[in-house]
Amino acid sequence: MNTKEFTERYYVDRRGTWCYKWDSPEEQGKEHVISMSVADMDFKVPEAVTEAMIRRVEHGAFGYTITPDPYLEAFITWEKERHQVEIEKEWIRFSPGIVTGIYWCIQAFTQPGDAVIINTPVYYPFHEAILDLKRKLVRSELVPTEGRYTVDFEDFERKIVDEDVKMFILCSPHNPVGRVWEEKELEQLFDICGRHGVMIIADEIHQDFVYSGHTHISSLNVENGKYKDNVILMASASKTFNLAGLKNSFVVIPSEEKRKVFDAYEVSPHVDTACLMSYVAVEAAYRCGADWLEDLLKVIWENYEYAKNTFEKELPESIVTPLEGTYLFWVDLGAYVSADEIVDMVQEKAQVVPDFGNVFSDNCGTFIRLNLATSMENVEKAVNAVIMQIRERGLK
Ligand SMILES: Cc1ncc(COP(=O)(O)O)c(C=O)c1O
């Protein structure tokens, strides 16, 4: 299916459907506002998912449920076929969302006051979880070169030692900087963590959004699995298949010792099973969604190329970060607009709601993050509205 056909078939107007992205206060009742924030998609799920859910709805009984084997097997098969990673059923635990899982792991494996390190700019709930739970937030800033970010390994290791860090939360692929980490980068990170007794929480929610020339390396496969007992992998179908509202994620814990710690923390039987409908949807998505995903990736790539080319042509001093993974467009408009003016310019004047860079890092006040998982029409409107505002006020 080409990108136009995909959009015609799957794009859906989500306004007025309790949609976080389109019905939040910034957008509510304002038909002309273009929301490019919150990382979910404006596309319907594969038909096989809806059909499986309808069949289950027609069954008509929604009582307590067990965790179905076919759902676990569908996830295991997906991980094996797509990411060449072997996951054993016994390793898998449930959490309603990756962020919840991160909160649980911080609580289960560290103590108040312990230091936790992240590579900023990064998904802001990482910062919030560490601070909410009264742990010490340690940031090692990624270093951009012409927009492409890499790890400052020296800084990372020095901070781990100086701050006596206990845990590292890895984002792979990385939101918002769109990096798909190379194996040698992961090896270096994991080696540093291993040498200093730092356990790794690997958030791989964006693992299926990877573009030509890049390969997602599962944290469980780094150096042939050498570090897997030091890693807790978080994954879900939420981003891949637009199922975030169904609240179903996987916490994968290869180490038996760590499973015991996690289970001892997370003992309540009321949170160890998911919503019945999420099992149905996730299983169908992993079993039947691969072709839909391939077509979707083409749509996102086309949107990325449009946004990149347009920014670079119209605002040549903007710095567009190359998209290796995720569906998030990260651009620095610092040559044209200050951190103090950016909200007014983008949200109030251009009427585009992005995620602003300052929530990802204190150093990113002049950045915006745009969600590309929508129609080309929305991308065009949003990109051109932002550019027009900047041009109207006069280029430097
Ligand atoms: C890196 C990352 N982790 C986690 C999440 C949210 O996951 P969940 O809704 O499962 O908590 C997001 C959503 O944007 C994300 O980008």
Domain layout of the chain by residue ranges: 3-46+290-392, 65-288
Q: How far is the CA of 81 from the centre of ligand 1 (A)?
A: 23
User: For a substitution probing ligand 1, which of 102, 175, 205 has the most ligand atoms within 8 Å of its CB?
Assistant: 205
Contacts of residue 134, defined as CB under 8 A and 6 or more positions apart, other chains included, come to 112, 113
Assigned CATH topology for domain 3-46+290-392: Aspartate Aminotransferase, domain 1 (3.90.1150)
| List of the chain residues with pLDDT < 50 | none
Name 171's bridge partners.
203
Q: How far is the CA of 339 from the centre of ligand 1 (A)?
A: 25
pLDDT for 267: 64
Ligand 1: does its nearest atom lie under 6 Å from the Cβ of 97? yes
> For residue 192, how many other CB atoms are within 10 A of its CB?
20
pLDDT for 329: 98
Residues 315, 345 contacting (CB under 8 angstroms): no
Ligand 1: does its nearest atom lie under 6 Å from the Cβ of 118? no
Residues 171, 214 contacting (CB under 8 angstroms): no
User: For a substitution probing ligand 1, which of 123, 232, 242 has the most ligand atoms within 8 Å of its CB?
Assistant: 123
Strand order in the sheet with 328-332: 319-320, 328-332, 367-371, 355-356
pLDDT for 393: 77
Of 44, 35, 38, 37, nearest to 378 by C-alpha is: 35
Ligand 1: does its nearest atom lie under 6 Å from the Cβ of 180? no
Ligand 1: does its nearest atom lie under 6 Å from the Cβ of 99? yes
CATH 3.30.930.10 fits 65-288, yes or no: no
> For residue 30, how many other CB atoms are within 10 A of its CB?
13
Which one-letter amino acid corresponds to residue 339? A
> For residue 174, how many other CB atoms are within 10 A of its CB?
25
